[in-house]
Chains A and B, each alone.
Chain A
Amino acid sequence: MESTALFTANNVWMMICTALVFFMHLGFSFLEIGLTRQKNAVNILFKNFFVISAGLLLYCLGGFNLMYPGFEDGSLGILKFAGFGIAPPEGGMTAEYASGGYTWWTDFLFQGMFAATAATIVSGAVAERIKLKGFMLFSVIYVGLIYPIIGSWKWGGGFLDSWGFYDFAGSTLVHSVGGWAALMAIYMLGARIGKFRKNGIANAIPGHNIPLASAGVLILWLGWFGFNGGSVLSADPELTSLTLVTTCLAAAAGGVSAAIFSNLMYKNFDLTMFMNGVLGGLVGITAGADQMSPTDAILIGLVAGILIVLAVSLIDKLKLDDPVGAVAVHLVCGIWGTLAVGIFGAMAGFDQFIIQLAGVGIVGAFSVISATLILFIVKKTTGLRVEAEEELKGLDLSEHGMDAYADFRLNQH
């Protein structure tokens, strides 16, 4: 009886976390439309709807079985496919499955919510100029194939797992995988019209709704309770509570350090840097959220906040155009968080650091190569970028024939 109660409690916690990770898609949507111009808001929301919907369907179709194929002992642990569709194994609804942490159904949906996140990260970076069909094609291949294959190397028990690579909730497996694709996509797409002057100096293209972007970041922070809290894979009292503490402290430290550091550099209090700093801290703690002490978590967050400010400015200097700071948040802080497992906390050590570095490098190389290949295919088939005239008019009108705020007008001051 007691074990049934525990199993139920565990499963309820995991389903709450699943819902919280789902909620993050609203956070991403708000953040992305807030930091871009109103003429592209419908287009961005359409992409976000597509990513979560297609992500779940693809994960059902084959993604889950590609990510958790059950590698045999002694196999290379690189690629295995357990077949199309989903059907619970024998005992999948009992405490025998997954040490009583959750049912097989919960397992599928929790992991499915993660899968779409990688493509959503790309969505923000390529906003305001990518062709909708091209983005959809890219997302289907990237979420349907690349994300599960990389995931299987660690979470599916593949070779990175055997090496001892550690990535608790996905600094590398989710955030860097999305971040690398975002980087390659903005490189191949080019900058938005008007982002850079002829002499290469970056122009500011301010987002149209900062309050909405703030809501997005706070929703993402809330969602991270599930993203990291659920990655404990049970309702273990000590681990879940520790994870939530480290997650929140890193987020807070990341925000404060980005706000202060950007103030030192640019003499203003930039709310969007504060917001990116919070997200950077969250991404940074994600790889080792269950391994860190509160002090470690704060240090990881502080470094992440500084990295964000430097990376945003570096991306501008490289003449890359990332409207929402996705590369700085998800790629740079994803790498930082993964390496931090070898520097801080219970697993710190030189050997671990080298394994973490190897994991970052292997996943990075595979993500870059596959993303480049897919983007090339997209370019040759559907086309990657909209025409200049469509871009100037706004994707809402040219791709959807819609206004985000029809019949709505704001007072200026």
Chain B
Amino acid sequence: MKKIEAIIRKSKFDQVKEALHNVEVNFFSYWDVTGVGNEKEGHVYRGISYSTSEIQRRYLSIIVNDDFVKPTIDAILKSAATDSVGDGKIFVLPVDEAYRIRTGEKGNNSLN
């Protein structure tokens, strides 16, 4: 079992969701995150120009069987890319164990 974490553009979320769905990854969590980086967002407020280095992205957390790791990563790589700087990152982490709370099943069975 692996945990795949992906930071993607919010504008790409629907495409990534669909791409994951197409490789039968139907369950995952996500949340909106703010990060700091080199990208500047220009703002003007009452005659004062300012830029924030705050970058808005969406963070996906996907737990999958080992068989699904490669299809999941490929799906994200393909669907989240715009070829511009700032498309995001994917991280793969090991997962020791997983349980389904309702039935107590564990391991791969708890995931689908």
Contacts and interface: CB of A to CB of B under 8 A. Distances in A.
A265 B46 CA distance: 11
A166 B34 CA distance: 56
B45 A272 contact: yes
Interface string B40-65: 00011111111000001000000000
Contact of A312 (B32, B34, B46, B50): B46
Contacts of A272: 45-46
B41 to A, nearest CB: 11
A203 B50 contact: yes
A309 B47 contact: yes
A204 B32 contact: no
Interface residues of B, number: 12
Contact of A202 (B43, B48, B56): B48
B12 interface: no
A206 interface: yes
A266 B56 contact: no
Contacts of A325: 46
Contacts of A313: 47
Contacts of A309: 47
A312 B49 CA distance: 14
Interface of A: 202-204, 206, 262, 265-268, 270, 272-273, 309, 312-313, 316, 325, 411-413
Contacts of B3: none
Nearest to B44: A268
Which residue among B32, B43, B46, B47 has the maximum number of chain A CB atoms within 10 Å of its CB?
Answer: B46
Contact of B45 (A206, A265, A411): A206
Contacts of B45: 204, 206, 270, 272
A268 B10 CA distance: 25
A113 B46 CA distance: 30
Given A204-B48, A268-B44, 5 more contacts: A203-B50, A204-B44, A204-B50, A206-B43, A270-B44
A316 B34 contact: no
Contacts of B43: 204, 206
B7 to A, nearest CB: 14
Contacts of B50: 203-204
